[in-house]
Amino acid sequence: MKKRKLGKSNLEISAIGLGCMGMSFSYGPPKDKQEMISLLRAAVDRGVTFYDTAEVYGPFTNEELVGEALEPFRGQVVIATKFGFNLSGPDNRPGAAGLNSRPEHIKQAVEGSLKRLRVHTIDLLYQHRVDPDVPIEDVAGAVKELIQAGKVKHFGLSEAGVQTIRRAHAVQPVTALQSEYSLWWRRPEEQIIPMLEELGIGLVPYSPLGKGYLTGKINEKTAFDGSDFRSQLPRFTPEAIKANQAMVELLSQIAARKKATLAQIALAWLLAQKPWIVPIPGTTKLHRMDENIGAVAVELTPDDLREIAVAASKIKVQGARYPEKIEAMTNR
């Protein structure tokens, strides 16, 4: 497994990480715990050293899973987690009370994450979503104190806007920004990626396979379970799925020529954008994980990348990526 560094930080990790959310949350019912522990340990065996979780995934159960699975490898792997939600709403629904990045809440959240992850220090701590009620300087200041106390090593932001990142970085250097980025969500290229390059911040793309769409395994007849959050996304209506097939066809053409899979081409494209980009595809299946890891060996030449760029520029992706209420929480 090749290694990469996130920006100017000294945080070196495998070139492809593993997004763990879907093992417990969002993509249908939670998966069997022992099977997921086996999968996580198989990832370690294959050289994956970067694992992504969050307290809200479950809530809490995903951190517990990751903590149990990776406890034998403490010090050999890097675990990223996130804070930023109230997890006991007035009607006991997780997150019903909305965002909360008040400094005292951050410190409470970190104590819980440390216990569930079975670690003494959190390798990378992200603010999950920007809280408009708390100045980002206060958030960065709270994380800075946690770093000084030895409870956190690196500070990250997720789906934050350009000015927010700059303001946070001035208080406590930001190691990584996690944001959606893939061939069918390229908005970070407009302002975010140039700014990350300028400041020396790494980029961790989540949903690098378009929540499964870029694998070519989804079509307009695909039915999503009510517990699969894609059932609520505008981009996953049957009409949008059908309209966006041009992107799948583009990947298919390149994949056939490279003797690779569509997922491997989509991931290789991301890896080719910048040397400080580390995608975190999620999966619950060993063969899919092996497929994703295989993307590291797929080399896209400058001609390949130009061909993809020209073809992709002619494709207008249909459907919003999130409902308005969720989209409003991003790029603040």
Compute the distance between CA of residue 203 and CA of residue 214 in angstroms, rounded to an integer.
20
| CB atoms near residue 124 (< 10 Å) | 26
Residue 17: domain span: 3-210+273-298
CATH number at residue 185: 3.20.20.100
3-state percent helix, strand, coil for the chain, nearest multiple of 5: 45, 15, 40
Whether residue 157 is contained in a domain is answered as yes
Residues 234-244: tens digit of each pLDDT: 999 999 999 99
53 forms beta bridges with none
Residue 244 placed within a domain: no
pLDDT tens by residue, 250-261: 999 999 999 999
Q: List, for residues 266-301, the tens digit of each pLDDT value.
A: 999 999 999 999 999 999 999 999 999 999 999 999
Kindly tell me the burial class for residue 133, based on how many C-beta atoms sit within 10 Å of its own C-beta (0-12, 13-18, 19 or more): exposed
In a domain, 16, yes or no: yes
Per the CB < 8 A criterion, the answer to whether 141 and 170 are in contact is no
- Upstream peptide bond of 188 is cis (omega within 30 degrees of 0): no
What CA–CA distance (Å, rounded) separates 50 from 272?
19
**Each residue's pLDDT tens digit, 88-126:** 755 555 555 689 999 999 999 999 999 999 999 999 999
The pLDDT score that the predictor gives to residue 93 is 55
Tell me what pLDDT residue 54 has. 97
Amino acid at 59: P
Catalytic residue among 51, 57, 126, 181: 57
124 within a domain of the structure (yes/no):
yes
Residue 256: other Cβ atoms inside 10 A: 11
Question: Which are the contacts of 32, defined by CB distance < 8 A and separation ≥ 6?
Answer: none
Query: Among 81, 46, 90, which residue's Cα sits nearest to residue 61?
Result: 81
Instruction: Assign 87 a pLDDT band (cuts: 50, 70, 90).
Output: confident
pLDDT for residue 90: 55
DSSP letters spanning 124-160: EEEESS--TTS-HHHHHHHHHHHHHTTSEEEEEEES-
pLDDT of the residue at 94: 53
Whether the pLDDT of residue 62 is over 90: the answer is yes
Is the CB of residue 83 less than 8 Å from the CB of residue 128?
Answer: yes
Residues 151-203 have pLDDT tens digits of 999 999 999 999 999 999 999 999 999 999 999 999 999 999 999 999 999 99
- Is there a domain that residue 234 lies in? no
Does residue 187 belong to any structural domain of this protein? yes
pLDDT at position 96 is 57
Q: Catalytic residue at 57? A: yes
Q: Quote the pLDDT of residue 205.
A: 98
Whether 314 is covered by a domain: the verdict is: no
State which amino acid sits at residue 5. Answer: K
Number of separate domains in the chain? 1
Q: Are 95 and 125 in contact (CB under 8 A)?
A: no
Q: Calculate the dihedral angle through the C-alpha atoms of 157, 107, 11, 299, rounding to the nearest 10 degrees.
A: -40
Q: Phi and psi (nearest 5°) for 257?
A: -70, -35
Q: Report helix, strand or coil for 110.
A: helix
Rounded to whole angstroms, how far apart are CA atoms 90 and 107? 22
Q: How far, in Å, CA of 142 to CA of 280, rounded?
A: 26
Show the CA angle centred on residue 275, arms to residues 274 and 276, nearest 5°: 90
In a domain, 166, yes or no: yes
pLDDT of residue 91: 53
